Structure 1
Amino acid sequence: MIIDLPDTSTRAINGRLVKARDEGGAVALGRVLTLIIDLGGHDPEESIEAANDASREHPCRIIVLADQPGHRAASLDAQIRLGGDAGASEVIVLRSAGALRSHSDTLVIPLLLPDAPIVVWWPYDVPDDPGAHPLGAMAQRRITDSVNTTAPSKALRHLAEVYSEGDSDLAWTRTTLWRGLIAATLDQAPFEPVERALVSGESKHPSVDLMAAWLAEALDCPVDVERIPGAPAITQVRLDRKAGPIILDRPDGKTAALIQPGQPEHRIALPIRQLRECLSEELRRLDPDEVYGEVLRTGLAKVQS
């Protein structure tokens, strides 16, 4: 069900939500958090679709902030999506114009679920300081996505300078499966130290930088980065040890080959992670990701830009 509310107010939106609850049951029951999506001038549909999919694991109220194109006067249009149009959530799309654009926090405060954690997600533009942003300051978790910025590596290094507990980036989440496989492989004999590492991947993809930074921080060894224009994100991780190299190679973005000394080659399904998977993973934890913080602040400085 989709309810359009042109030229409205947050009070009217809340009133319509109460009416929908009375008509169709307790819509807000079972919601575990409020997810705020700050889109600016970008199209909201891809982000809403990913959030709806994630809401099946994490039922939530989704508040979407988007600009009204071509409007100058202060105004607010809203849309409420419920039922099949909202996954396991309820979606409130707020399109603001004029002076209201700079008061996003006052727009969302009346719509927050009481006593529920708040997560803010910026799918495109990274704020100057997520923790000091009016929306970020009220949230337990702040999620950015440096992949979608014009200069991803520069955005990552800026995020390292302004990092505060609760920050995270989906470029880090996209490395989860790689990190798990590498950690599991190093947990096996011969338990030799890694003397040098190499991460290969798309020349501008920030996951390549974060993977290299994680290895540099965790293994305390030199890490080289091979940047390949047009490659599918991370394509290979190579760890050099005395007994021979460990190589995790995924040239096609779908299946990886794990090559180790004295063992047959293993083929592993390792597809590029979808947006909804990464968002679902981030919503599973509302405490600070301490490993990400260490990698961003310390490990990234050990990797050449």
Structure 2
Amino acid sequence: MIVDLPDTTVSTIARSLVKVREDGGAVALGRVLTLVIPTSHGLEEDAIEAANDASREHPMRVIVLISHPEGESRLDAQIRVGGDAGASEVVVLRAAGAAASNEESLVTGLLLPDAPVVAWWPDHPPAVPRESPIGRIAQRRITDASTTPYDAERLSELGAVYSPGDTDLAWTRLTRWREQLAAELDQPPYLPVTAVEVVGSGSSPSTGLLAAWLRLKLDVPVTWRFAPREKWEHGIQRVVLTRANGDIVVERIGEVDAVLRQPGQPEHDLVLPRRTLRECLAEELRRLDPDVLYGRVITEGWELLGPPLVEE
């Protein structure tokens, strides 16, 4: 069910949410958090779709905020429940002019009582997430360093302003890579790694974050390279862990498939699919405490990592 509320107020929206629940039987008592999504016009539907999918694991209220500082002061809203909102309630706010000048006040009257608040910027995150109007009211703040147009300095900027509670989906996309590499090092012969090489796309912040994680955890020299765009366009291509008995190589060969090469063993096929936006968002919503490891990687690990090289 979709309810449109043109030229409205926050108090009217709040009353309408109560009425929708009473009339339609949509129960909000089981919601576990409020997800606030500041985004841009034209990008909101992809964010709502990902949030609706994630809500099947984390029932929540989703507040989507689209602000236009210019123009006549006006607030339009839309409430989505039932089949149009997955297991969540979705409130879409479109604020213009003076009505868009105070994002925090637009949102606070619609938050679930006594429930954690998570902020997610699918695009154009603020320079300092924790100091932004929405970031100040959120326990967790999710950015995405991979959004276009790609900025090579974005990870350095995120590290410089990091605050406990910050995280980034470029880090979340590494979960399967981290699990696979850790699994290989947990098997005999347990020889120490002496050097690491990480190769990936020049527009993939995950490549740098994986290199920073390995530099931090293994405390060995890490070389990270950008593959030529014509050879590798997206994400991480391969990781090489050097040990005294030879190299362990994990190399992606497609959207889903990868291969594992180890000294003295036959080549193994791996399933290493790229993670969807819904999977990454759902993973981040599983924890509301600070991701301490991400904090160390984006600060300590990033500072230890040298600049990337570019493959010919």
TM-score (norm 1): 0.96
Which portions of structure 1, spanning 4 or more consecutive aligned residues, are displaced by more than 6 angstroms? Answer: none
Alpha-carbon distance, 1:101 to partner: 2.2
| Aligned residue number for residue 226 of structure 1 | 225
Give the Cα separation in 1 of the matches to 2:178 and 2:42.
32
Q: Secondary structure at the match of 2:146?
A: helix
| Aligned residue number for residue 288 of structure 2 | 286
AA in 2 matched with 1:94: L
Mapping of 1:71-220 within 5 angstroms? 72-220=71-219
Give the Cα separation in 1 of the matches to 2:199 and 2:104.
41
Mapping of 1:247-262 within 5 angstroms? 247-262=249-264
Contact 2:39 2:122 in 1 (8 A): yes
Contact 1:130 1:136 in 2 (8 A): yes
Aligned length: 304
AA in 2 matched with 1:252: G
Give the Cα separation in 1 of the matches to 2:79 and 2:188.
56
Alpha-carbon distance, 1:67 to partner: 3.0
Whether 1:25 and 2:28 are equivalent positions in the alignment is no
Question: Could you say what the CA RMSD is over the residues aligned between the two structures, in angstroms?
Answer: 1.4
Alpha-carbon distance, 1:42 to partner: 4.6
Contact 1:147 1:206 in 2 (8 A): yes
AA in 2 matched with 1:174: R
Contact 2:203 2:234 in 1 (8 A): no
Alpha-carbon distance, 1:99 to partner: 2.0
| Aligned residue number for residue 45 of structure 1 | 45
Alpha-carbon distance, 1:149 to partner: 4.2
AA in 2 matched with 1:165: P
TM-score (norm 2): 0.94
Alpha-carbon distance, 1:26 to partner: 4.6
Give the Cα separation in 1 of the matches to 2:38 and 2:195.
40
Range with bigger deviation, 94-103 or 239-248:
94-103
Give the Cα separation in 1 of the matches to 2:41 and 2:131.
21
Give the Cα separation in 2 of the matches to 1:105 and 1:251.
45
Q: Secondary structure at the match of 2:163?
A: coil
Give the Cα separation in 1 of the matches to 2:213 and 2:151.
17
Q: Secondary structure at the match of 2:255?
A: coil
Q: Secondary structure at the match of 1:48?
A: helix
AA in 1 matched with 2:21: R
Deviation sequence 1:172-226 (CA, Å, 0-9, x none): 0000100011011101111111111111111121000100000110111111112
| Aligned residue number for residue 300 of structure 2 | 298
Deviation sequence 1:54-111 (CA, Å, 0-9, x none): 0000000000001359x60111000000100000000000000012223110000000
Alpha-carbon distance, 1:259 to partner: 1.1
Matched-pair identity in %: 54
Give the Cα separation in 1 of the matches to 2:136 and 2:262.
46
| Aligned residue number for residue 235 of structure 1 | 237
Q: Secondary structure at the match of 1:153?
A: coil
Give the Cα separation in 2 of the matches to 1:65 and 1:111.
12
Deviation sequence 1:110-146 (CA, Å, 0-9, x none): 0000000000000011211111111111111000001
Deviation sequence 1:20-44 (CA, Å, 0-9, x none): 1111225212100000001034520
Give the Cα separation in 2 of the matches to 1:6 and 1:43.
20
Give the Cα separation in 1 of the matches to 2:199 and 2:255.
12
Distance 1:294-1:147 versus aligned 2 partners, 3 A rule: same
Structure 1 gaps, min length 5: none
Give the Cα separation in 1 of the matches to 2:233 and 2:218.
25
| Aligned residue number for residue 65 of structure 2 | 65
Structure 2 gaps, min length 5: none
